[in-house]
Amino acid sequence: SPQGRSKKKSRKHQRFMERRALLEQKGLLSPRGRLGGQQPEPGLEALTALPGGTTVPRCDKVPKPTRTVSAPLSPSASPDSIARHHSVLLAPGSGGSRRVRASSLLLRLGKYVAIDCEMVGTGPQGRLSELARCSVVNYEGDVIYDKYVQPELPIVDYRTRWSGITKQHMKNAIPFKAAQAEILKILKDKIVVGHAIHNDFQALKYFHPKDRTRDTSQIPLLKKRAGLPVRANVSLKNLARQLLHKKIQVGCKGHSSVEDAQTAMELYRLVEVQWEKELAHSLPPRPPSPVSDPSADSSQYLDDQYWPTDLMAGGL
């Protein structure tokens, strides 16, 4: 009769609900009707419930084995942490430079920059060098800053043959202090690459931490690759020709600070893994940088306490 079938269906549904409640209690089944509830434990979705509360593995879903990989570096990692990370990944059986590139590419994109500055002559007979153009590129060589800068003193010698700067460029140049504030904000907490980079920092009236500086004119690995003596003074132009097989700083229109910055980054990347591994054994641990107001960065470096007396006497 319809009434009998209804009772039979009701008892079957009741047994189903009891089994469901039991599975939920054991954590083998997600509670019904909960949106955004807790996910089942890994591997439990591969079990099938049988009458009586028992479970058997299903053949269509098998939990994938987990791979153990090294923890990624955070964007706030200190230079010595980065170097030691390279060293660990380069250890025997770790996968070598392929894992270095894969594990920290995103970190490098925001952590590394290369800089090059062009200077003009000011002061008596144009002997003082002042900033007239500054270019900054990222790890991939993309330009993130490139502006002409008006020196604080009148220009006596444009040095166009080397700097590429002309009077026309100064029409839209920004004041030195404004440029300095913008550039220092970019360089803050970055690892900065450049060739004979102390000249660029001097033009900016700035001192960058040594452990965050990568000077391609001082990397023995590059000189060895080029077949040059380790103690030799080597130009960016020469290294680019020997190692990158490209010509830069040609013609009579002067250097391009963008091209020079990109070239310095290319040279650094040639020996990055091995050089950072060597630095990992030579750099002492560096405490994290204190949190400061970025708007104050440009003024703090002008304080006399940051300037050696012999440099001040040089007329900068």
| Sign of the dihedral through C-alpha 17, 22, 28, 34 | positive
Quote the radius of gyration of the chain (alpha carbons, Å).
31
CA separation (Å) from 85 to 73, 191, 201, 250, 280?
8, 15, 28, 39, 8
Q: Identify which of 173, 156, 151, 163 has the alpha carbon closest to the alpha carbon of residue 122.
A: 156
Model's pTM, two decimal places? 0.60
Q: How far apart are CA 164 and CA 119, in angstroms?
A: 9
* 197 phi/psi in degrees, rounded to 5: -70, -15
| Sign of the dihedral through C-alpha 199, 122, 259, 231 | negative
Scored b (16 or more CB within 10 A) or e, 198-226 reads eebbbbbbbebeebbbbbbbbbebbbeeb
Maximum Cα interatomic distance, the chain, rounded to a whole number of Å: 116
Q: Tell me the two tokens of residue 258.
A: 């963008």
pLDDT at residue 252, rounded to an integer:
65
pLDDT at residue 120, rounded to an integer:
95
pLDDT at residue 282, rounded to an integer:
76
Q: Tell me the two tokens of residue 315.
A: 């007329």
Residue-wise pLDDT tens for the chain (316 aa)?
A: 655 556 666 777 788 888 788 777 776 676 664 444 444 444 444 444 555 555 544 544 444 444 434 444 444 455 555 555 555 544 555 455 555 555 556 666 779 999 999 999 999 999 999 999 999 999 999 999 999 999 999 999 999 988 899 999 999 999 999 999 999 999 999 999 999 999 999 999 999 999 999 999 998 899 999 888 888 888 999 999 999 988 888 766 667 899 999 999 999 999 999 988 888 887 666 555 555 444 444 444 444 444 444 444 444 4
Name, in order, each residue with C-beta under 8 angstroms of 61's C-beta and a sequence gap of 6 or more: 45, 46
Q: Identify which of 238, 71, 257 has the alpha carbon closest to the alpha carbon of residue 148.
A: 257
Class of domain 111-282: alpha beta
pLDDT at residue 290, rounded to an integer:
54
Q: How far apart are CA 203 and CA 119, in angstroms?
A: 7
pLDDT at residue 250, rounded to an integer:
77
Please count the other Cβ atoms lying within 10 Å of the Cβ belonging to residue 115: 27
Q: How far apart are CA 31 and CA 39, in angstroms?
A: 10
Q: How far apart are CA 194 and CA 145, in angstroms?
A: 15
Each domain of the chain, given as residue ranges in start order, spans 111-282
pLDDT at residue 80, rounded to an integer:
54
